[in-house]
Amino acid sequence: MLAINVKTETGPDLVRPAEAELSGLLRRIGADDDHFAVVERIPDEPHAFVQAWREGDGPFTVEYRDGGPERHFRAECADAGQVIAVFVDWARRGETWRTALEWQSADLYATPGLAPETRARAEEQARQQIRSGFWDFHQVAQGVCDTFGPEDAPVSLDEARRIVGGLWEERLAEQAEWPEVTDADRVAGVFAALERQGLTARMNFSCCSGCALAEIGGERAEADHGFVFFHYQDTESLADGGGLSVRYGAYADSGHDRAEVGRTVVAALSEAGLPAQWDGNPDKVIEVAPLDWRKRLPTGA
């Protein structure tokens, strides 16, 4: 077994895979929604990884990092066997991988093919999703691509990854200066507590109220009598500096009502020191404001 974690675009992720498993995975990548593999050591070493990207049956773009952005290198290789040998030797903490390919310093964040206004729009989208704290690196990059419609100049996934990469680094540096517990941590704690009190509690759940209300029942545990959530648009408001709209309700067969659930949610928010605002009307959402939304980026992302 190799002392590594392996993350892919489609999954499943591998933990301590055998050499044959890693080999098969690397030979597999290249199909739609299955372009890359990222390998990190166990135990984790921050800013140390090796990864490969492939489009179809074309050559591999192989990268490794060993420290800060200035210690990030890239090479092209069309030989899958050679790529596999590099990954296995890296995983075994060998040294031959260092000279096996023609490594060149990678300009990680440049997008020379993008117009400045396109890059600026892409950065705006990426910053919003990064500030939300819920999306991993690859989801943010895909979200940047999806922002641009058929009438726009396209942003490729590789360009999106470069844009997100620099902004991701900035956010990680900011996080190092944050207090140990933030408002985002307090909100997460409240939702975990409400889950224990018999509510289906979901953060950043579904795209809008209508879809979330239609889908929340599918998340219900057997003992749940109600639910509480905020959806993607609520998260976007948070990321833009607004407050949080918390939505709630009771399941029809539970014998509980919306107002009761609302009171439970407000009590939990208030106990956590969060400024919940609600007049007791079960037809109104609970507003939590002001909030200093600083949610740490997903770990291992």
Residue boundaries of the structural domains of the chain: 4-105, 116-175, 183-288
pLDDT for 301: 53
pLDDT of residue 81: 97
β-strand pairing of 199-202 with 226-229: parallel
pLDDT of residue 159: 94
Tokens of 197: 């009190």
| pLDDT band (50, 70, 90) for residue 107 | confident
In whole angstroms, give the CA distance from residue 290 to residue 243.
6
- Alpha-carbon distance of 126 to 140, in angstroms, equals 6
Whole-number pLDDT of residue 300:
60
Residue 48 CA, distance from chain mean position: 19
Q: How many helices (H) and strands (E) does the chain have?
A: 10, 12
- With H, G, I as helix, E, B as strand and everything else as coil, classify residue 223: coil
Give the mean pLDDT of the chain.
94
pLDDT tens-digit map of 20-69? 999 999 999 999 889 999 999 999 888 899 999 999 999 999 999 998 77
Rounded mean pLDDT, 132-150: 94
Asked if 52 and 87 count as a contact pair (C-beta separation under 8 A), the reply is: yes
- List the one residue out of 20, 133, 147, 176 whose CA is nearest residue 87: 20
Q: What is the pLDDT of residue 247?
A: 98
> With 90 as the cut, is the pLDDT of residue 106 above it?
no
pLDDT-wise least confident of 8-12, 16-20, 61-65, 270-274: 8-12
Among 38, 9, 299, CA closest to 172: 299
Across residues 109-138, what is the average pLDDT? 94
Q: What is the pLDDT of residue 33?
A: 86
pLDDT at 86: 97
DSSP 279: -
pLDDT over 90 (residue 105)? no
Task: Quote the tokens at residue 123.
Answer: 């950065």
Inform me whether the pLDDT recorded for 187 exceeds 70: yes
Does the pLDDT value for residue 166 go beyond 60?
yes
CB 166 within 8 Å of CB 109: yes
115 φ, ψ (degrees, to nearest 5): -65, 145
Return the H-helix or E-strand segment holding 187: helix 183-196
How many CB atoms sit inside 10 A of residue 201's CB? 26
Average pLDDT for residues 176-182, to the nearest whole number? 96
The mean per-residue pLDDT over the stretch 265-270 comes to 98
Contact (CB, 8 A) for 286 and 277: yes
Going by the DSSP 8-state scheme, the letter that residue 249 receives in this structure is E
70-104 tens-digit pLDDT: 788 999 999 999 999 999 999 999 999 999 999 99
d(CA 212, CA 249): 12
Contact 18, 6 (CB under 8 A): no
Local structure of 154: helix, strand or coil = coil
Question: Per the omega criterion (within 30 degrees of 0), is the bond before 12 cis?
Answer: yes
